[in-house]
Amino acid sequence: MDALFSSFSSYFFFFFLASSLSALAFDLGQSTRCVTIPNQMKVCQDVGYSEMRLPNFLGHSNLEAEVVPRSEDWRPLLQTGCHPQAQAFLCSLIAPVCLDTFIQPCRSLCVAVRDSCAPVLACQGHPWPQALDCDRLPAEEDMCLSPHAHFGQFAKDLPKAACQNCPAVEEAPAMKTVLDAFCQHDFAVTGRIRRRRILTGEPEFEVEGRVEFIRQGPLLPYDTRHLLQQWLLINLRCADAMVRPGRLQPYVLTGRLRPDGTVAVTRLFPWRKKDANIALATRKWKHHRC
């Protein structure tokens, strides 16, 4: 457990190092310059502008040594999809648009992103950075980057991934155990999950290929693979404990839809070639009565 905690602490080390350089104490009177957002700065590509100011609102002035490498510190949070405007908010701080005046994020945008993304950080054992205290950002009546609502009700109604207690992992289950899990839960799917190690040594998890339905329940065919991917990213500690290193591994996952619209993965069965009971349960399910 200590080793796992150490691993995840190092995962967020640079994230909080970058955050601790207070963007909100930035001197708006200092001299700045405009530079092109480099291609290697992946987190701030496709933000709607191509030039940024240096120093940025985090106090970084060296593009190659500070801005680009530290921008990667935000990538794990953005990948969770915790808020649709998280990228706009973070990039307005690390790669502020180059205009005649400084444009900071509005307090309301900060609050919206914080309220959605702080629970993701909390899931991984970390608070919202104090350097991003929304109360210190300009109010709506000032010139600032405000939130814009262009996401329809349909998107709000889609099932969402959220932080949860880790599901039970059951090795070599009996056929009845698997059938009971199908009966007791809203959905059951099979998917292939790969555990990768990136250059920093921290694991990444990816759902590869198609996700097959055993019991579809409230899930949507075109959204389920993305939903499971987001679940792995948010529940990183669970994924680290559940998914073994090595080759691509098939899994059976069962779960429920919570009243708040989030999904909870409740049981996970690694599906290996020797697990004939899982294969038999999936075949019998079509004619099984709960």
Q: What is the arithmetic mean of pLDDT over 33-53?
A: 92
Are residues 272 and 173 part of one domain? yes
Residue 239 in domain: yes
Mark whether 234 and 255 lie in a shared domain: yes
Rounded to whole angstroms, how far apart are CA atoms 40 and 95? Answer: 13
Residue 197 lies in a domain: yes
Q: Which residue has the tokens 């919206």?
A: 112
Same domain, residue pair 21 and 121: yes
Mean pLDDT of the chain: 84
Q: Are residues 161 and 266 in the same domain?
A: yes
> pLDDT tens digits, residue range 76-108?
889 898 999 999 999 999 999 998 888 889 999
As a whole number of angstroms, the distance between CA 84 and CA 149 comes to: 10
Burial class of residue 30 in the structure, from the number of CB atoms within 10 Å of its CB (0-12 exposed, 13-18 middle, 19+ buried): exposed
Where does 72-219 have alpha helices with state H? Answer: 75-79, 86-94, 107-123, 153-157, 175-184
Determine the pLDDT at residue 250.
93
Helix axes 2-11, 13-20, angle to 10 degrees: 40
pLDDT in tens, 167-194: 999 999 999 999 999 999 999 999 999 8
Kindly state whether residues 280 and 267 are assigned to the same domain.
yes
pLDDT bracket for residue 129 (50, 70, 90): confident
Same domain, 193 and 231: yes
**For residue 194, is it within any domain?**
yes
15/143 same-domain check: yes
116 with 180, same domain: the answer is no
Mean pLDDT along residues 63-69? 89
Q: Is the pLDDT of residue 259 over 90?
A: yes
At 18 the pLDDT is 37
CA distance readout (Å), 226 to 21, 209, 221: 33, 11, 10
- The contacts of residue 30 (CB under 8 Å, 6+ apart) are 55
Domain containing 175: what range? 154-287
CA distance 167 to 18: 33
- 37, pLDDT greater than 80: yes
CATH number of the domain where residue 259 is located: 2.40.50
Q: How many domains does the chain have?
A: 2
* pLDDT at 156 (0 to 100): 56
192 and 278: one domain?
Answer: yes
> What distance in Å separates the CA atoms of residue 254 and residue 31, rounded to the nearest whole number?
56
How much is the pLDDT for 133? 86
User: For position 23, what pLDDT does the model report?
Assistant: 43
134, 114 contact by CB (below 8 A): yes
What is the spatial distance between Cα 80 and Cα 138, in angstroms, rounded to a whole number? Answer: 27
Q: Which of 119, 151, 183 is the last residue before a domain boundary?
A: 151
Tokens found for residue 30: 């200092």
Domain check: are 147 and 158 in the same one? no
Checking if the pLDDT of 280 tops 90, the result is yes
- Name the least confident of 52-61, 124-133, 167-176: 124-133
pLDDT for res 89 = 94
User: Would the pTM count as exceeding 0.85?
Assistant: no
- Between helix 175-184 and helix 276-284 the angle, nearest 10°, is 50
Which of residues 168 and 273 earns the better pLDDT score? Answer: 168
Is 6's pLDDT higher than 50? no
Residues 37 and 84 in one domain: yes
pLDDT (0 to 100) of residue 228: 95
Is the domain of 66 the same as that of 167?
no
- Is residue 279 predicted with pLDDT exceeding 70? yes
Asked whether residue 3 is assigned to any structural domain, the reply reads: no
The residue with greater pLDDT, 172 or 59, is: 172
